Amino acid sequence: MLEIVDLKKDYKTGNYVTHALKKVDLKFKDKGFYSILGPSGCGKSTLLNLIGLLDTPTDGKIIFNETNLSSLKQDEIDLFRNKYIGFVFQSYHLIHNLTCFENIALPIYLGGESDKAKVEERVDEILKKVGLFDVKDKKSSDLSGGQMQRISICRALINSPKIILADEPTGALDSKTSLEIAEILKKLSEDHLVIMVTHNKDLAYKYSDEIYYLNDGEITDHKILKEEVEKEDNKNQLRVVFKRRKLVSDKIVWSLAIKNLLSKKAKSIISAVANCFGLVALGFILALTNGFTVYSDMVSYETASSLPINVPAYTIKTDSESREDINQSTEFPDDEAIFPYVSTSSEYTYTYNNYTEEYFDLLD
């Protein structure tokens, strides 16, 4: 049983707060077709995203078979979503560069299965059920809206989830195809809990077992259209189990990445060429700066070496230049250089070079 208790969701945009859901309480049995009916903007998608653990509530609890889903850690949320929930969206959310087979198989791979034969068997079985086995290897973008929605239902069902969440699943379809999709969901509700969000009253009345009316973030009414046939056996309730899954294999990750690259050939080639140009330009600029440094060093070396080294017999410093830095007040300073004491009475300072063998060796 799925229970929603005091669920609240606020969206903050700058200083403005939207109270999308205000204290919502709902109960769903293990199986059946439930509709959440309400006008656009009343909080239907917000509610479904919270039930599907795609978003976190501001307050309240979501309890599934006695497990409080609101208190799960992120990796447990991912496991729960993959194993227990199947999503069907108005705009299908298929990956268009993958085939129908690959789109449906994706949740199996994400669940850790890597045996291709097993995966193929499961996908084939489900494609046959919805009568779309012949489009198995077609790109999902080549299908009609109704076919795309059926493929997305297959994808939602492939891991045999307990709960199927459908957000306006017929919103983009004509009335005949809408009925076909609703029929499929109705059939599924015999074994699953199907929660459909819609603003289509006719569809809700025709197919639902129960309808919750949502308006401005609040449940305003609840109707039971079809009484349950069997009483639920609470003792046999399925417990939520978090079994660690294997990681998706590198082979699958790489094959998806390469497929994605190949599907956007022009874009991939242009960005690869642009990156190459960028790298070449960077290398060129570095080479140029380095070349200039080497060249200027070479020029200074050649220029300096052609000039004679002038070593005068003595140097003269005038009074103003020499006195201040040569005469130090400390007798034994810590400085590295030590200057002789020069008499301040003289106007000039004479410093004689002492030409020794070592001195000429040093110059050489």
**Three-state DSSP state, 213:** strand
Pick 48 or 127: Cβ nearer ligand ADP: 48
Q: Which stretch binds ligand ADP (CB under 6 A): 41-49, 89-97, 173-181, 291-299?
A: 41-49
Whole-number Å distance between alpha carbons of 227 and 186: 15
| Closest distance to ligand ADP from the beta carbon of 36 (Å) | 9
Q: What is the CA radius of gyration of the chain?
A: 40
The contact mask relative to Mg ion for 36-55 (x = CB under 5 A, - = no) is: ---------x----------
Give how far the C-alpha of residue 291 lies from the chain's centroid of Cα atoms, to the nearest Å: 43
The three-point CA angle 43-49-52 to 5° equals 140
Query: Which is closer to ligand ADP, CB of 9 or CB of 155?
Result: 9
Dihedral sign (CA 275, 281, 284, 288): negative
Contact between 43 and ligand ADP by CB under 6 A: the answer reads yes
Which entry of Mg ion, ligand ADP, none binds 86, CB below 5 to 8 A by partner kind? none
- Closest contact distance (angstroms) between CB of 268 and Mg ion is 34
- According to DSSP, the residues that pair with 88 across neighbouring strands are 166
* Contact flag: residue 204 with ligand ADP (CB under 6 A): no
The 7-26 site mask, x for binding ligand ADP (CB under 6 A), equals: ----x-x----x-x------
189 binds Mg ion (CB under 5 A): no
State the nearest-atom distance from the C-beta of 46 to ligand ADP, in Å.
3
- Give the binding range for ligand ADP (CB under 6 A) out of 35-43, 99-107, 243-251, 313-321: 35-43
Backbone angles phi, psi at 300, to 5 degrees: -65, -40
Which partner, Mg ion, ligand ADP, none, binds residue 40 by CB below 5 to 8 Å per kind?
Answer: ligand ADP
**Cβ count near 112 (within 10 Å):** 14
The verdict on 164 binding ligand ADP (CB under 6 A) reads no
Query: Measured from the CB of residue 171, what is the shortest distance to Mg ion in angstroms?
Result: 8
Q: If contact means CB under 5 to 8 A according to the sort of partner, which of ligand ADP, Mg ion, none does residue 43 touch?
A: ligand ADP
Residue 258 CA to residue 252 CA, distance in Å, equals: 10
Tell me if 269 sits within 8 A of 135, measured CB to CB.
no
The distance of closest approach from Cβ of residue 213 to ligand ADP in the complex, given in angstroms and rounded to an integer, is 12
Among residues 42, 69, 72, 98, the one that binds ligand ADP under rule CB under 6 A: 42
What DSSP state is assigned to residue 280? H
Q: What span, in angstroms and rounded, lies between the C-alpha atoms of 95 and 130?
A: 19
Q: Which of 244, 243, 241, 195 is nearest to 67 (CA)?
A: 241
Q: With contacts defined by CB under 6 A, how many residues of the chain interact with ligand ADP?
A: 12
- 10 Å CB burial of residue 312 (0-12, 13-18, 19+) is exposed
Q: How far apart are CA 245 and CA 236, in angstroms?
A: 25
State the minimum distance, in angstroms, from the CB of residue 202 to ligand ADP: 18
Closest among 167, 192, 231 to 37, alpha carbons compared: 167
Q: What minimum distance in Å lies between the beta carbon of 155 and ligand ADP?
A: 21
Residue ranges that bind ligand ADP, judged by CB under 6 A? 11, 13, 18, 20, 38, 40-46
Residue ranges that bind Mg ion, judged by CB under 5 A? 45
